């Protein structure tokens, strides 16, 4: 297969073309035996025939509770009401019901061009939830097509109590998962996070944390996570999602926190749909908004990811698993311009955060798991017509998406 006269964003180009000065350069891409075999300057002059991306990577989702808003209702602007609504209904969900929702979510993501997805599973106590068995079946069904990862999502207070953390970690390791926690203004946070780090190091588990998901400037969990990671010489990967409160702190304090995060090697994930929906007032125009400091993180060489988070549940009653829609909202909410320069937020950055074998840079020898958009520049990228795409899997076109 040959893809002629396509544009490859500079942030997605492999080393040979990464420094190529022309952002509007066109390339011919050859595909053989499921890999990109060659990339050369376009032989034909004229207009671009599309924008070529690597397969999309969704670093933070909740496919265990998607598509439930009709049952639970939407919690407008109230994170903890949303948590309560979901917990009230979750007791009636069987593993089979959860599996059906997960299959729907993964199929939607797959058709839109996602090649890897990480989901958080609500894990309220030491016993594994029904969603874990459902996830394991879905992961097996999609093996070889989409890489699926899971994170145990437990309130920090619960995880640090007694032997809860050890029991959870044992099951997470058995199921080849990632250890997670919900962290927000916890009393005794240093001690409790220390216990979490101790468990992660004992069992050799990566961490993926919900941190500071609110607009309280005194929520400094992210800073504590970074300080402990440095003090304990944490070698396991750490991903921190949300970090909304960072935007409420003064610039100097936020910059110090981000410097610590960079030193600790922490990966940030911003969730524009859910946090713009939940954070801020509902009785007036919501100022400020719930999105972390993406530009400031980049200044510390921390390229944040943008991810889907919730879809059609109490936390966010709208949306789909089309990462390009999430990207478009992030571009507008955080002023990510030029937009083409930030496409690594849904490709390279999350691939690195999830520890994938391929970092998403397009170069000879990389997998031919690609997305060819109808858009030819950044202005068409956020247009409905521009988001029309051909999803390429293992060198073959899967489906043309509207």
Ordered DSSP codes for 156-187: HHHHTSTTHHHHHHHHHHHTT-EEEEEESS-T
Check 99, 147, 213, 378 and give the catalytic one. Answer: 213
Q: What are the structure tokens assigned to 309, written together? A: 């988070």
How far apart, in whole angstroms, are the C-alpha atoms of residue 61 and residue 312? 12
Radius of gyration, alpha carbons of the chain: 21
Active site residue 213: yes
CA gap 226, 206 in Å, rounded? 14
Q: Helix (H, G, I), strand (E, B), or coil: what is residue 307? A: coil
At 266, phi and psi to the nearest 5?
A: -75, 140
Give 256-261's long-range contacts (Cβ < 8 A, gap of 24+): 256/223, 257/220, 257/222, 257/223, 257/226, 258/293, 258/296, 258/297, 258/299, 258/300, 258/302, 259/300, 260/223, 260/226, 260/227, 260/230, 261/222, 261/226, 261/297, 261/300, 261/302
CA 31 from chain centre, in angstroms, equals 28
Its sign, for the CA torsion 122, 123, 129, 131, is: positive
Which residues are annotated as catalytic? 213
């Amino acid at each position: 297969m040959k893809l002629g006269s396509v544009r490859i964003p500079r942030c997605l180009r492999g080393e040979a073309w990464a420094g190529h000065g022309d952002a509007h350069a066109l390339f011919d891409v050859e595909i053989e035996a499921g890999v990109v075999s060659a990339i050369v300057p376009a032989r034909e002059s004229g207009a671009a025939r599309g924008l070529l991306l690597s397969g999309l990577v969704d670093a933070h989702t909740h496919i265990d509770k998607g598509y439930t808003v009709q049952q639970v209702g939407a919690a407008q602007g109230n994170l903890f009401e949303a948590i309560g609504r979901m917990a009230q209904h979750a007791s009636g969900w069987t593993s089979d019901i959860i599996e059906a929702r997960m299959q729907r979510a993964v199929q939607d993501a797959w058709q839109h061009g996602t090649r890897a997805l990480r989901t958080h599973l609500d894990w309220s106590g030491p016993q594994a939830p029904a969603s874990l068995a459902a996830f394991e079946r879905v992961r097996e069904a999609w093996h070889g097509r989409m890489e699926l990862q899971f994170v145990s999502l437990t309130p920090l207070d619960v995880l640090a109590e007694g032997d809860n953390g050890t029991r959870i970690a044992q099951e997470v390791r058995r199921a080849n998962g990632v250890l997670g926690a919900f962290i927000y203004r916890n009393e005794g946070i240093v001690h409790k996070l220390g216990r979490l780090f101790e468990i992660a190091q004992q069992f050799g588990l990566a961490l993926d944390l919900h941190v500071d998901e609110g607009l309280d400037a005194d929520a400094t969990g992210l800073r504590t996570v970074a300080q402990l990671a440095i003090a304990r010489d944490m070698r396991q990967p750490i991903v921190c999602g949300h970090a909304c409160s960072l935007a409420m702190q003064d610039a100097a304090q936020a910059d110090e926190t981000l410097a610590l995060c960079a030193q600790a090697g922490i990966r940030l994930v911003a969730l524009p749909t859910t946090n713009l929906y939940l954070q801020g007032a509902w009785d007036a125009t919501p100022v400020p908004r719930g999105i972390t400091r993406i530009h400031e993180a980049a200044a510390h060489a921390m390229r944040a990811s943008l991810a889907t988070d919730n879809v059609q549940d109490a936390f966010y009653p709208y949306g789909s698993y089309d990462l390009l829609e999430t990207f478009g909202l992030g571009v507008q909410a955080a002023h990510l311009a030029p937009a083409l320069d930030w496409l690594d937020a849904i490709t390279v950055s999350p691939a690195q955060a999830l520890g994938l074998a391929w970092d998403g840079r397009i170069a000879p020898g990389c997998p031919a798991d690609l997305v060819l958009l109808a858009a030819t520049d950044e202005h068409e990228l956020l247009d409905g017509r521009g988001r029309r795409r051909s999803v390429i899997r293992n060198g073959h076109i899967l489906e043309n998406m509207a």
